[in-house]
Amino acid sequence: MESISLEDARRVIAAAEDKAHEIGQPMDIAVVDDGGHLRAHVRMDGALIASIHISTNKAYSAIALKMETKNLVELTQPGQPLFGLSDSAGGRIVVFPGGIPLTRGGQIVGAIGVSSGTVEQDQEVADAGAAAF
């Protein structure tokens, strides 16, 4: 299986960083490989320290579950079928927007995770990074 290259990871981060600058929100931006291991990360000036791990875990979640983390919001609410999912995998699963798998030729080869803004801003910046892939 192919995994994301460092060059690709840097391009994804650069596009996400450009979007973060455009909207005026410093971000933590992480890209992981197909195994969920960190490939590249940037913490923009002013981004939240807590978001270093959150951004990495959003990317990990997108790989581990093979879906955008925004798709988990409704499914993980109390009374829903996946309630408690965020407690699995040692607490690494993130169930709110900002994590997106990166695919090539129909295969997931990596993922981006973004954190430090509102959930809408995180998703917007993640979308920009994913679009550059």
Residue 70, C-beta contacts closer than 8 angstroms, at least 6 positions apart? 96, 97, 98, 99, 123
In tens digits, the chain (133 residues) has pLDDT values of 689 999 999 999 999 999 999 999 999 999 999 999 999 999 999 999 999 999 999 999 999 999 999 999 999 999 999 999 999 888 899 999 999 999 999 999 999 999 999 999 999 999 999 999 9
Question: What per-residue confidence (pLDDT) applies to 1?
Answer: 61
* Cα dist from 4 to 40, 44, 102, whole Å: 10, 22, 8
